[in-house]
Structure 1
Amino acid sequence: MKIILATQNRGKIRELQELLADENIEVLSLLDISNWEDVEENGETFADNAALKARAAVQKTGLIALADDSGLVVDALNGAPGVYSARYAGEPKDDERNNDKLLHQLESIPDDKRTARFRCALVIATPDGKEYLTEGTVEGLILRQRRGLDGFGYDPLFFVQDFARTMAELNVAQKNKLSHRAQAFRKAIPILQALKESQTLDT
């Protein structure tokens, strides 16, 4: 069975390919599609945005499509930056400016109130109009200064208490095991297995 992951992010593509390596499911991506037009992500939630991208990929290819949307949710900021995580400090997207803005917004917030989580919503859309949602979450705290060099986005500020490190201080294996996206991808595997079986029965 062939599926398409609606992303051009090689890290995401490789992650899903590795998870599905033993499932006889071939993962294509937007890198394999010509004339792809980016979808305007104007949904109110991560799931809304993921669904917009998954539906567009189904329509373009006729394949079962997966798309994810994720971001940082900070309690003291009433859930911000949320769906605006990538462009929190405006366009063009810039991780450093986003982190600077986050630190500024939380300047007066005490350490024990700086709770936050990374959230990911993954939508699987099928050519016959069915949709499935999986989600992943990682809880943490926002530090007052950056730590670690291996992450991107808000990783240098996001402290994971179980590891006593920021996401940017974790190695790739640790991060892939606990990450919100890895959780959502793993939950998608039984859904994809069932879809593959139903395709086999239909042929």
Structure 2
Amino acid sequence: MPKVVLATHNPHKVAEFQQIVAMTRPDVEVIGYGGPEPVEDGVTFAENALIKARAAAAHTGFAAMADDSGISVDVLGGSPGIFSAYWAGQQKDATANLELLLDQLADIADPHRTAQFVSTIALVTPEGIEHTVAGVWPGRLARAASGSGGFGYDPIFIPDGQPAGAERTTAELTSAEKQSQSHRARAFQAFVPLLKTL
């Protein structure tokens, strides 16, 4: 069975990718990465994803994939963007990040609270072959957190395409619903053909 290292120390991301990959390529095993974390000094999701995947491929000798993702709020010019994990400071406090973003948007009317989750996935082989693909999940931001599922900004993100009056945040979706719709799932659909190169 081909193995791909997922270049993250975040167990939530490992579990999410394992579920996504299993739906489309059950013959590929996604394994976690325990090596050193590189400095993510890129200025785009793609650059940071490649930095992480290169480091994991070099450290393990396996093909490596990495996701760099975040939330982009239109009225904030696309921020937090690549700074999503550090929006409230270097401690990477998810609750503080979410609360700061809600505070910054407190006076913004609902029609202007549009946002999207963005995911870029990079694949790097030990031979130096590199690919990136991206997925975007459009929606808007709620005024208060709701739901106990997911992680990060999930409790305040309301995906587009839901029935009026029955809208839920990403944290209120089932795991299966999220894995079939998410920005990572959308990026991974474009990524699947690349796995054939393994």
Distance 1:17 1:158, change over 3 A: closer
Alpha-carbon shift at residue 151 of structure 1 (Å): 2.6
TM-score (norm 1): 0.87
Change (3 A) 1:27 1:148: closer
- Does the C-alpha gap of structure 1 residues 126 and 100 become closer, same or farther in structure 2, counting only changes over 3 Å? same
Corresponding residue for residue 201 of structure 1: none
1:30 is paired with a residue whose SS is coil
Match of 2:192 in 1: 189
Match of 2:172 in 1: 169
Q: Contact between 1:20 and 1:189, CA under 8 Å: does it hold in 2?
A: no
Between the aligned partners of 1:11 and 1:104, the Cα distance in structure 2 is 26
CA root-mean-square deviation: 1.7
Residue in 1 that maps onto 2:124: 125
Distance 1:72 1:106 in 2: 14
Report the alpha carbon displacement of residue 168 of structure 1 after superposing the two structures with TM: 1.0
Higher mean displacement: 18-27 or 55-64: 18-27
Unaligned runs of 5+ in 1: 197-203
CA-to-partner distance for each residue in 1:76-122, whole Å, 9 max, x for gaps?
A: 00111011101101021112211121112112221101110000000
Specify the code of the residue in structure 2 equivalent to 1:24: D
TM-score normalised over the length of structure 2: 0.89
Q: Does 1:73 align with 2:72?
A: yes
Paired letter, 1:105 = Q
Measured after TM superposition, the shift of residue 147 of structure 1 is 1.6
Counterpart residue number, 2:96: 97
SS at match of 1:57: helix
1:126-141 to structure 2, matched below 5 A, reads: 126-141=125-140
**Runs of 4+ deviating beyond 6 Å:** none
List runs of 5+ in structure 2 lacking aligned partners.
none
Taking a change above 3 Å as real, the CA distance of residues 144 and 91 of structure 1, as seen in their structure-2 partners, is same
Flag the 1:115–1:53 CA change in 2: closer, same or farther, 3 A: same
C-alpha distance in 2, partners of 1:86/1:144? 20
